[in-house]
Structure 1
Amino acid sequence: MTTEVIDIVVDTVRTGFVGGGFMTRVHAAAARRAGAALTAVASSSPSRAQLVAQELGVARVEDDAARVIGAPDVDVVHICTPNATHAPLAAAALAAGKHVVCEKPLAISAADARALVRAADDAGVVAAVPFVYRYHPLVREARARAASGGVGALLTLEASYLQDWMLRRDDDDWRADAAAGGPSRAFADIGSHLCDLVEFVTGERIVRLAARTRRVYDERAGRPVSNEDLAALLVETGSGALGTLLVSQMAPGRKNALVIELHGTRRSIRFEQERPEELWIGARKASRLLLRDPATAAPDSARLQRLPAGHPMGYQDAFDGFVADVYAAIAGASPEGMPTFADGLRAAVLTEAVLEASASRTWIEVPA
């Protein structure tokens, strides 16, 4: 694994946003931190867009997404809209020659995601998907230790991503509507992050899997629901390591509990997203807790540590690091580990494999 220190000078990037929810706020904060000009925004209505522009300091409101995408003073379009709209909006932005940051899932089918990868390659632009948990410095530390042999040969892994925001029958969201959210909800929404992190840290692909999904409520707030609330997976990696993955949006008390633990022939290593300043390292005779410290970190971890040890970094810092890498890539750099549309395609392929495995109740070979 090679590491590049990003020291390229980035010209002011002119940024447009499509969408007006929570994720737009996160994207806008990261873009501002990266020195971008927040140029234009469109949302579900002009009044909504006006409110977002005032709150976030975006210079101009556009009537619709097409006007943001077509604006000559917009270099990169951030797509933060419901899932089913991602593919057509990303395709339109690519056709307009824009760089694109598209929220996951990149598309609600692997075929559409594959078409977007080809379109991005043909356009020669930067096209990224925010799998931002890669940007926690201690995730990079875990990855560096796995790559250097510190964990040894991978034997098993356990990983989970648990939330509780859809626990009750009257908890509702547009994601529960398959027409807007897609055929998968829990796995496409958060399981995609979990699998991306597993493959990113281990450096291995999930090559086959068995899965069960469950929809607890067939209706939410009086509206029919057809996508899943939770998923459980048994996976095998390219080296033969076995793993268990649990994904749920109905785990009481768990807010954003993403956990990955690897077990190798030399060490175990564990990262918890809600405790991002810590990395647990287990050994036969002694275990220890490693705290974030740029002075002792692997280079690819240290470059993301904008604050000294003892000054906590969190989710927004990880997102800031991702957007900074995207804008550096627009300026010509090649940041290590930046998630692209190819990674978005990978998530779509895994999502379809999980749904197929659950429906057939058989092991599924995951397409490369």
Structure 2
Amino acid sequence: MAKQLRAGVIGSGFIARVHTRAIRDSGHIVAGIASSSVQSAKNAAAELNIPNAFASWQELIASNEVDVIHICTPNEFHAEMAIAAARANKHIVCEKPIAVSGSEALDIQAEVLTNQVGFAIPYAYRFYPVVREMRTRIQNGEAGAIHLMHGVYLQDWLAAPESNNWRVDSTAGGNSRAFADIGTHWCDLVEFISGDRITALIANTSVAYETRGGKKVQTEDIASILFETSNGATGSLTASQVSFGNKNKLEIELDGAKASYIFNQEQPDKLLVGGQSSNQVVTRGQETLTCADAKRLSTVPSGHPQGYQDAFNAFVADAYAGFQGKVVDGVPGLIDGLRSSALIEAVLESAETRAWVQVKSVANVLTLQ
């Protein structure tokens, strides 16, 4: 039996709580927490039954009582914290984007590789069982050659003009918001499922409201993207955080020569397979899934919903297994964080120049590997 790892969580917002539940569900220990203030850390520790509230994130990272650092803070702190964790020889789980610039992402890479620590990024939508089923079927050729990849990622939490959040601030969140925050999730998932890569894109970004909270909005509410892939497919994505009635609609459709495959994150127990004469709905369950990895991730009986927290729990369990030397397919790691940084930079460049932009390949981004 693998030993329990001890986690330290930096941050006390909603996503830190998702991380905390997942750490415990995977059989590991939440040893401590740090937040924006000592009192905030103490409050979170008391509420979440965490034994140690650290005075600062630096103290948490330095502690000998912690093996893994979970970075759940505003984006501007990700690089500094990840670099410090790597230098302290701690494994890292860092929320996306891993940095606010490509150069910062490369700085993280250098320290992670130098210190040989584990690194995982929570692209947890990969861990829905029907996503693994979709991936296996498509990569086995059941859809035929993929011609078109398209979809949306729509939210409404910033749809009202009075809505505001630290992510709107380009200093705290980076120069991209809608694409960096949710569009990268969509791109990671479509590339993971298809095994293909976005090579070039043209993007348009826009804001719904010029100001929020009395300050000029400098990050996009909406990103619309056309793209081409290495295997010759074309595609499109609309990412929006101002679309009323959509809480978290991540939908992907891959259209091939033999069939279409459709996944909607708000209905995660269903996979739609489209055909010319009939459609098929594949539901999650041991008797309906054909992929061994999908069956592994299907942990509750058929007909009982399995959702986001379950997927996140599976992500943490597999990431920690990787930290302990086990080879686990599909865990999003440093290479995927760097890939997202390259896509963010391409989107920002294209939106500014209003022209097609080549996306840096992973080989070019991973300059130290």
Q: Same fold (TM over 0.5)?
A: yes
Give the aligned residue type for 1:331.
Q
Percent identity over the alignment is 44
Q: Deviation digits for residues 161-196 of structure 1, max 9, x if unmatched?
A: 000111122100000011101000110000010100
2:208 touches 2:242 (CA, 8 Å); kept in 1? no
Taking the aligned partners of 2:236 and 2:251, their CA distance within structure 1 comes to 12
What residue number does 1:353 align with?
Answer: 346
Q: What is the DSSP-based 3-state SS (H/G/I as helix, E as strand, rest coil) of the residue aligned with 1:310?
A: coil
Q: Partner of 2:92 in structure 1?
A: 100
Counterpart residue identity of residue 357, structure 1: S
Deviations 1:231-266 (A, max 9, x none): 000011111111110000000100000000000000
Q: Tell me by how many angstroms 1:217 deviates.
A: 1.8
* 8 Å contact kept, 1:211–1:358: yes
Gaps of 5+ in 2: 362-369
Aligned to 2:295: 302
CA distance in 1, matches of 2:67, 2:150: 41
* Cα distance, 1:308 vs structure 2: 2.0
Q: Which amino acid aligns with 1:367?
A: K
Instruction: Please give the alpha-carbon distance, in whole angstroms, between the structure 2 residues aligned to 1:337 and 1:243.
Output: 23
Helix, strand or coil: the match of 1:155? Answer: strand
Alignment of 1:252-271 (within 5 A): 252-271=244-263
What's the secondary structure of 2:160's corresponding residue? coil
Q: AA paired with 2:175?
A: P
Q: Is the counterpart of residue 71 in structure 1 residue 71 in structure 2?
A: no
Structure 2 matches for 1:131-150, cutoff 5 A?
131-150=123-142
> How large is the RMSD of aligned CA atoms in angstroms?
0.9
Cα distance, 1:28 vs. partner? Answer: 0.1
Secondary structure at the aligned position of 2:21 is classed as helix
Pairs aligned (count): 360
How far 1:216 moved relative to its partner?
A: 2.1
TM-score (norm. length: structure 1): 0.96
Q: What are structure 1's unaligned runs of at least 5 residues?
A: 1-8
What is the aligned counterpart of 2:315 among 313, 322, 343? Answer: 322
Alignment partner, residue 10 of structure 2: 18
Distance 1:46 1:81 in 2: 15
1:3 equivalent in structure 2: none
CA distance in 1, matches of 2:78, 2:30: 21
Shift of 1:72: 0.4
Task: Report the counterpart of residue 230 of structure 1 in structure 2.
Answer: 222
Task: Note the alpha carbon deviations across 1:308-344, whole angstroms, 9 max, x for none.
Answer: 2112100000000000001111221111100001101
**What is the rounded CA distance, in whole Å, between the counterparts of 2:352 and 2:323 in structure 1?**
41
CA–CA distance in structure 2, aligned partners of residues 277 and 366 of structure 1: 33
Aligned equivalents of 1:296, 1:126: Cα separation in 2:
35
Paired with 1:201 and 1:42, the residues of 2 have a C-alpha distance of: 36
Following TM superposition, by how much is the alpha carbon of 1:294 offset from its aligned partner in structure 2, in angstroms? 2.2
Once superposed, which parts of structure 1, at least 4 consecutive aligned residues long, lie more than 3 Å away? Answer: none
